[in-house]
Structure 1
Amino acid sequence: MHSTESHAPRLNLFGDPVVAKALKHFASASRTLIDTSQLPKATQDLVTLRASQINGCGYCTDAHSKDLAHAGESAVRVNLVAAWREATVFTAAERAALELTEQGTRIADAAGGVPDEVWARAAEHYDEGQLAALVLFISLINASNRMGVINRMAGGDHEPGQFG
Structure 2
Amino acid sequence: MDARLNHHANPVGAKYMKYLVSASKVLVDSALPTSTLELVKIRASQINGCGYCVDMHTKEAALAGETSLRLNLVAVWREATVFTEAERAALELTEQGTRIADAAGGVTDEAWANAAKHYDEDQLTALVSGIALINAFNRLNVIVQQPGGDYQPGRWE
Smaller-chain TM-score bracket: over 0.9
Query: Map of 1:53-92 to 2, 5 A cutoff?
Result: 53-92=46-85
Tell me the TM-score normalised to structure 2 length.
0.96
2-side partners of 1:16 and 1:65: how far apart? 27
Residue 143 in 1 paired to residue 143 in 2? no
CA offset at residue 48 of structure 1?
0.3
In 2, Cα distance between equivalents of 1:78 and 1:18? 34
Deviation, 1:71, is 1.5
Give CA-to-partner distance per residue, 1:75-116, whole Å, 9 cap, x none.
110000000000000000000000000000000111121000
Would you say 1:52 and 2:45 are equivalent positions? yes
**Displacement of 1:14 after TM fit?**
2.9
Give the counterpart of 2:25 among 18, 23, 31: 31
Let me know the Cα RMSD of the aligned residues.
1.0
Cα distance per residue 1:24-65 (max 9 Å; x no partner): 11111111222x111000001000000000000000011111
- Say which SS state the counterpart of residue 124 (structure 1) adopts: helix
TM-fit CA distance, 1:124: 0.4
Structure 1: 4+ residue segments shifted above 6 A: none
Matched residue of 2:152: which SS?
coil
**TM-score, structure 1 as length reference:** 0.92
- Within the candidate set 122, 126, 140, 1:129 is matched to 122
Match of 1:8 in 2: 2
> Identity rate of aligned residues, in percent?
64
Alignment-mate amino acid for residue 150 of structure 1 = I
Shift of 1:162: 2.7
Partner of residue 120, structure 1: 113
Matched residue, 1:157: 150
Unaligned runs of 5+ in 2: none
